[in-house]
Amino acid sequence: MAKKSIFVVEDEEDILDLVRHHLAKEGYGVSTATNGMEAVKAILRKPPDLVLLDLMLPGLDGLEVCRMLKKDAQTAEVPILMVTAKDEEADVVAGLELGADDYIVKPFRMKELIARVRAALRRRRGAPPDAEAVVQAGDIVIHPGRHEVKVAGEAVEMTVTELRILHLLAGRPGWVMTRDQIVDAVRGEDYAVTDRAVDFQIVGIRRKLGARADCIETVRGVGYRFRAED
Ligand code: CA
């Protein structure tokens, strides 16, 4: 199997060295940049398999880098794992809405970083299922065409909106969805869904999932994620 390549954008040199060392030890090919403009140029020249992107960068910041990479056809599909400080929730939401795949909060343990990198690389295969596709996640099966949800073989009654939200989340396990992304995906199905209404819908979905309620995780300040099995 070819070596997977990871491009690390980080302006703090000691963190950069540490991350580079650990990723190389795991067998990844690592390229780096310490500022946004340099990163965008190098990444567009030779798109890697994944970008690890610090959001707080001098000059062109991480969100701008994310926006530029997602806009270019060559790099639009390259997963971006954002690196953020604890108080950057608004930036995380903005980054996810620009198309970043996941984020990790500083300070992180190297073991956690490696696990997230592996998960993001694995997820790269497979686009989100279309709205009518049957989604199966563990013992939960969602059949939009038949308006049917089954948990461990038992049919569970859900509203159209609940089913759409569950379908969206379960179709991309491990992926954080912001409230806005959820609203956009289900808008106009049976009534206007707002940010706050998403939280309300999630409460309903969890209640109906019963013993499997914990498969929908709340990502504080950001949104929701369907628990990935591994
Ligand atoms: Ca930084």
The Å distance, Cα 35 to ligand 1 centre, comes to 9
The Å distance, Cα 16 to ligand 1 centre, comes to 10
Please list the residue range(s) of the chain that carry CATH number 3.40.50.2300. Answer: 5-122
The Å distance, Cα 51 to ligand 1 centre, comes to 15
The Å distance, Cα 36 to ligand 1 centre, comes to 10
The Å distance, Cα 163 to ligand 1 centre, comes to 40
Q: Which CATH architecture has domain 135-226?
A: Orthogonal Bundle (1.10)
Q: What is the pLDDT of residue 210?
A: 93
The Å distance, Cα 30 to ligand 1 centre, comes to 18
CATH number, domain 5-122, options 3.40.50.1820, 3.90.330.10, 3.40.50.2300, 3.30.450.20: 3.40.50.2300
The Å distance, Cα 63 to ligand 1 centre, comes to 12
Please list the residue range(s) of the chain that carry CATH number 1.10.10.10. Answer: 135-226
The pair of three-digit structure tokens given for residue 195, joined into one six-digit string: 């940010």
What long-range pairs does 138-143 form, CB within 8 A, spacing at least 24?
Answer: 138/212, 138/215, 138/229, 139/212, 140/166, 140/170, 140/209, 140/212, 140/215, 142/166, 142/167, 142/170
The Å distance, Cα 165 to ligand 1 centre, comes to 34
The Å distance, Cα 57 to ligand 1 centre, comes to 5
Give me the residues near ligand 1 (ion), CB cutoff below 5 Å: 11, 54, 56
Q: What is the pLDDT of residue 64?
A: 96
The Å distance, Cα 68 to ligand 1 centre, comes to 18
The Å distance, Cα 9 to ligand 1 centre, comes to 9
The Å distance, Cα 38 to ligand 1 centre, comes to 15
Per-residue pLDDT of the chain (230 residues; tens, 9 = 90+): 679 999 999 999 999 999 999 999 999 999 999 999 999 999 999 999 999 999 999 889 999 999 999 999 999 989 999 999 877 888 999 999 898 988 999 999 999 999 999 988 877 555 566 778 899 999 999 999 999 999 999 999 999 889 999 999 998 888 889 998 888 877 755 556 677 889 999 999 999 999 999 999 999 889 999 997 65
Contacts of residue 42, Cβ cutoff 8 Å, sequence gap at least 6 = 7, 31, 33
